[in-house]
């Protein structure tokens, strides 16, 4: 009951604070100005992700002081502040990758140093158990996840909808394992994200900005490490829950890299962006992503917890059709569609 009360309070607080943040962003001209690759045609208030950061850190601080969240995990979560600050600076004045990326690795390394050893990863035919390799993989995964969410936050509602899906499914899964820390963090992100989504749903009235997208991706990565160490979820559970974002961002990056394009520069060639142009709707694409998550990926993610010995095979099963979809939507190629294109 107390968790439900917390979620209700966070939902209301997030909705109200996001509205206030929108007004302040307009007042101080903190706006996303449309450019050639933009999916919006008029200036939109940005940096609304500050609300998500504030509420998350407020809850984490309170429950650390009350003894629910262990000190070491609290210290690991403090790295999200650096990620949020980097995102905020990037929103205010574009931060060059030569500064952004090293600091992201510093934050990821901080997390890994504060946490116990990363559990072994079962790849089916063999297992990765070397602690050095596992730590390196954890650092790389954290940096990739925060950038992944940044890449995928390109149309209205898609990134915060993914946050809501992942966090509520995580909450559902860990409730049966009595992982109180994961339940608290998942509930906090879900309720805060749902409140923000009221303003970010197509047509968006405010964007979360890099301060929000990077923070979300990094926080989910830290939570993935928590859940693996608590034994409540596996790495394959997270791969499945984040499947659409992982496939689209990774496939697009690899295709751009092969063409010697600068992966870190802005573009509009993700599969979801091509789909939004093809069907002339942000809402249709975001709803489709939600449906794929709920109907296809959620059952497989739940099954990966019940049968961890099949985790890698379930991940392959879940990811394979997403790769086919990314290829069909020409991920990595910016495609324009004429006015005769059939709508969904």
Domain boundaries, the chain: 2-234
Structure tokens at 11: 């939902």
Average pLDDT over residues 138-161: 96
What does the pLDDT look like over 75-124, one tens digit per residue? 999 999 999 999 999 999 888 888 999 999 999 999 999 999 999 999 98
Three-class SS of residue 121? strand
Percent of the chain with pLDDT over 90: 85
Q: What is the pLDDT of residue 168?
A: 98
The SS3 call for residue 100 is helix
CA distances from 213 to 45, 67, 150, 310 (A): 15, 29, 5, 31
pLDDT at 292 over 50: yes
The residue among 24, 269, 26, 45 whose CA lies nearest residue 156 is 45
Nearest to 48 by CA among 159, 143, 147: 159
Mean predicted confidence (pLDDT) in 318-342? 79
Length of the chain: 344
The secondary element (H helix, E strand) that includes residue 293 is: none
Per-residue b/e over 217-242, b at no fewer than 16 CB within 10 Å?
bbbbbbbbbbbbebebbbbbbbbbbb
- Identify the pLDDT of residue 33: 85
> What residues contact residue 287 under an 8 Å CB cut-off, 6+ apart?
none
Place of tokens 């390109």: 154
pLDDT score, position 38: 65
Our measurement of the distance from residue 28's CA atom to the centroid of its chain's CA atoms, rounded to an integer in Å, reads: 27
Q: Is the pLDDT of residue 338 over 70?
A: no
> Pick from 49, 52, 1, 332: which is nearest to 191 by CA?
52
- The answer on pLDDT for 301 being more than 80 is yes
| pLDDT score at 310 | 97
Name the residue with higher pLDDT: 260 or 63. 63
User: Residue 124 region, left (φ>0) first, then alpha (ψ -120 to 50), else beta?
Assistant: left
Question: Which pLDDT belongs to residue 1?
Answer: 59
Q: Give the sign of the dihedral formed by CA 190, CA 194, CA 197, CA 199.
A: negative
Residue 282 · residue 203 · CB < 8 Å: yes
Mean pLDDT of 7-22: 98
Q: How many beta carbons lie within 10 A of that of residue 55, not counting itself? A: 23
Q: Using the Cα atoms of residue 66, residue 71, residue 75 and residue 76 in order, give the sign of their dihedral.
A: negative
Q: Average pLDDT, stretch 57-81?
A: 98
pLDDT at 335 over 80: no
Check if the beta carbon of residue 43 is closer than 8 Å to that of residue 168. Answer: no
pLDDT tops 50 at residue 55:
yes
């Amino acid at each position: 009951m107390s968790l439900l009360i917390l979620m209700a309070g966070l939902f209301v607080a997030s909705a109200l604070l996001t509205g206030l943040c929108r007004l302040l962003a307009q007042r101080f001209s903190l706006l996303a100005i449309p450019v050639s690759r933009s999916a919006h045609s008029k200036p939109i208030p940005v940096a609304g992700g500050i609300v998500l950061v504030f509420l998350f850190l407020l809850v984490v601080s309170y429950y650390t002081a009350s003894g629910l969240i262990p000190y070491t995990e609290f210290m690991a979560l403090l790295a999200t502040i650096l990620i949020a600050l980097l995102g905020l600076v990037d929103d205010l004045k574009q931060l060059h990758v030569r500064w952004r990326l090293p600091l992201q690795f510093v934050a990821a390394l901080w997390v890994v140093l504060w946490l116990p050893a990363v559990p072994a990863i079962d790849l089916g035919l063999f297992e990765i158990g070397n602690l050095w390799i596992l730590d390196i993989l954890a650092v790389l995964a954290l940096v990739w996840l925060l950038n992944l969410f940044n890449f995928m936050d390109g149309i209205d509602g898609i990134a915060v909808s993914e946050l809501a899906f992942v966090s509520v499914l995580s909450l559902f899964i860990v409730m049966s394992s009595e992982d109180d820390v994961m339940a608290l963090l998942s509930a906090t992100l879900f309720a805060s994200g749902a409140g923000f989504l009221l303003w970010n749903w197509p047509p968006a009235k405010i964007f979360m900005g890099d301060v929000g997208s990077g923070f979300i991706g990094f926080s989910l990565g830290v939570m993935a490490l928590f859940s693996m160490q608590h034994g409540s979820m596996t790495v394959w559970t997270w791969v499945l829950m984040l499947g659409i974002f992982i496939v689209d961002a990774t496939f697009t990056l690899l295709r751009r890299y092969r063409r010697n394009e600068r992966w870190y520069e802005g573009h509009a060639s993700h599969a979801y962006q091509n789909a939004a142009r093809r069907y002339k709707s942000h809402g249709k694409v975001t709803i489709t992503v939600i449906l794929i998550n709920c109907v296809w990926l959620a059952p497989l993610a739940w099954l990966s917890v019940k049968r961890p010995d099949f985790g890698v095979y379930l991940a392959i099963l879940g990811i394979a059709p997403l790769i086919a979809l990314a290829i069909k939507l020409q991920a990595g190629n910016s495609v324009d569609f004429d006015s005769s294109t059939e709508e969904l």
